[in-house]
Chains A and B, each alone.
Chain A
Amino acid sequence: MAEINPKYLELDKEMRERNLDESTPVSLLEDVKQKGRVWDDLCEEYGVDNPDPPWRITLEATCDMLAGGYWETFNVCKPKEERNPEEEEKKLDAVERRWEEDKLVEKYYEQIPFPERQLLALAHTLIRRGLFDEEELARRMEEVDQRLNSA
């Protein structure tokens, strides 16, 4: 059996110290989870064969942007000693986000397919970290919904 990558163990320890396990369900996202129609179902109903929803790339781009910009996206496995805490204030480290995504999916969104689960986990992470709150997101979703359905 191969040995576990030492980087993995080091980051695992760091993640545990940050209590990334502490999370509670977000009722807004639970609603989306229950009522939202996933891409696979929509494709079946409308006879569309594109494997990914049109928003998959924009979601990926959002994740990359949150990690801190163009070049940072290629450095997602940056070791701790090479990170600059002062520059990290408004960043959502890509490794942290991915680990939190794994945890949140396992806990809340396992039955939802990809990339819908990635989106739910990202929204959950942003709310949990206080980058915006649930009410703000609910309001914005209402506005977006009205806008998209106004044609």
Chain B
Amino acid sequence: MAEKHKPAPMVEEVSEFEVLEIAVRELAIEKGLFTAEDHQRWTEYMHTLGPLPAARLVAKAWLDPEFKKLAVEDGVKASLEVGIDWVNSMPTHFGTPSDYCNLRVLEDTPKLKHVVVCTLCSCYPRPILGQSPEWYRTPNYRRRLVRWPRQVLAEFGLQLPDDVEVRVEDSNQKSRFIVLPVRPEGTEGWSEDQLAEIVTRDCLIGVATPKPGKTANDPRPVRPAVNPYHH
């Protein structure tokens, strides 16, 4: 006899935070700060986003030198190949009035490692990478990475030899970045799907490097800023 289907566990109580989130949203709509329809459309769009397209872009670039050239020269055009249209994607449909869609793909080499930050807030290439992780948003990461990139990467477990240059790219109004890491040894003959699996979100931000068998991000401790920057 087939095993009886067991439903996935679910949280069976309403938390104060859930109530607060709904209350804030409803009041904002009532006050005319935005419409319920716009919020709904944007939420649906956001639910479609995740890191897979960026991982696929890297995997394709590893397999196809011509595509890699395109990715490095024109990240927006290359994104189309993995289903991400920065200019005409939902829900705008008509492009954007600004040039935010300048996605740049930063190519690592054995002697050059890129890592991405947003020192001002938490700008992130959401259309191709989904939501940013908590640590990416913290002042601790944002303030320290630009000052001590090598040391901060070491805290993430990425020990780089002294002869590897570290380059930090600061996201801004004009540009979003993802890292195209070096293809690791031991992946010869792999398919695009296999390769995409090891290109984790952290590899695409630049705080990790891809490794065969490693398909998930490590849990990252989130620390307060020890020396807060006083505004």
Contact = CB atoms under 8 A, between A and B. Distances in A.
Contacts of A54: 18
Contacts of B98: 71, 74-75
A90 B33 CA distance: 6
Q: What's the interface size class on B, roughly?
A: 35 or more
Contact of A144 (B23, B34, B47, B171): B23
B20 A119 contact: yes
Contact of B15 (A37, A115, A131): A37
Q: What's the interface size class on A, roughly?
A: 35 or more
A38 B134 CA distance: 15
Interface stretch (B68-76, B119-127, B181-189): B119-127
Contacts of B146: 2, 4-5
B103 to A, nearest CB: 11
Helix, strand, loop or mixed for chain B's interface? Answer: loop
Given A60-B131, A64-B42, A136-B27, A42 B100 contact: no
Nearest to A118: B137
Interface in B95-116: 96-98, 100-101
A106 B222 CA distance: 13
B120 A8 contact: yes
Contacts of B11: 42-43, 45-46, 48
Interface of A: 1-2, 4-5, 7-8, 11-12, 15-16, 20-21, 32, 35-39, 42-43, 45-48, 53-62, 64-66, 69-71, 74-79, 82, 90, 92, 94-95, 98-99, 102-103, 106, 110, 114-116, 119-120, 122-123, 126, 131-132, 136-137, 140-141, 143-145, 148-149
6 contacts: A5-B146, A58-B43, A78-B173, A90-B33, A102-B139, A123-B24
